[in-house]
Amino acid sequence: MDKQTEEEIQTVFDDWKKAVGLALTVNAEVIAYDSASSTLKEIAAMRRTKFTKAKVDGITDAIVKDYKAGIKKGGSYCVEPIYEDLGNGYIRATTKQTFVPWLDDFSDEQRDAVMKIFIEGEKEGVYPLEMAKQVEEYFAGTRHRAQTAARTESQKIAQTARIDGYKESDVKYVQYITAADGEVRPTHEARHLKIYPINKAPWIGEYNCRCILTEADFVVEEEGAKVETDDSVIIRKEEVFADG
């Protein structure tokens, strides 16, 4: 492959990354606004307080600003599980949020795959139309992964807006809710229905995660529900390997 062709392919993927970043940012603004709006309306109805659009706009603007900055760096803040081996076959699991340049990584991976198709095709004398077909098949195979990544980003934005709405409304406690359908990660299942102080709740947003945090002030303050002191759970070590 000559240098000019290589540069043209790189330009295509640079443009692709910019387009995806723009689409994700626009999507983040819509989801953040809708989630913040529904959360604040929900709390306002429960507490008979005033709902204001200014609060929704403030939450949305802050989330989009942070998200846009991450996308410009080639990724976003993602949630990762942290494991501590306790011995005797058990592990303590917690969560942390860290920046992951997944958009850059995905773009580079696709660029390298396409270049490999062309380089190997040229060596083997493959016709250009056949190489184009191989590229098309490659992208068809990555579509599901891209859709999953988009769903994960949407879920993270929605949950961030919900939590920011709770904080804006002085909510003190949240309850962890899973999909409870047999497809839940073991660590998430261990947190199901647990209640946490809002500033000590588990991070939500692992890849393809569907869990949510909901307001729980009433069950704590009126019904005396138990409140966890941190987000850690203890599970059997063998379950970690199923935690995907």
Residue 65 CB-density burial (10 A; 0-12 exposed, 13-18 middle, 19+ buried): exposed
56 to each of 76, 217, 237, how far by Cα in Å? 22, 21, 42
How far apart are alpha carbons 83 and 91 in whole angstroms? 6
pLDDT at position 52:
85
Q: Identify the sign of the CA torsion 187, 188, 192, 197.
A: positive
Place of tokens 């409140």: 227
pLDDT at position 110:
87
How far apart are alpha carbons 218 and 216 in whole angstroms? 6
* pLDDT higher than threshold 80 for residue 205: yes
pLDDT at position 4:
83
pLDDT in tens, 165-199: 999 999 999 999 999 888 899 999 999 999 999 99
H or E element: which one contains 99? strand 90-100
Could you tell me which residue, 99 or 129, shows the higher pLDDT? 99
pLDDT in tens, 214-230: 999 999 999 999 999 99
Confidence band of 244 (pLDDT split at 50, 70, 90)? very low
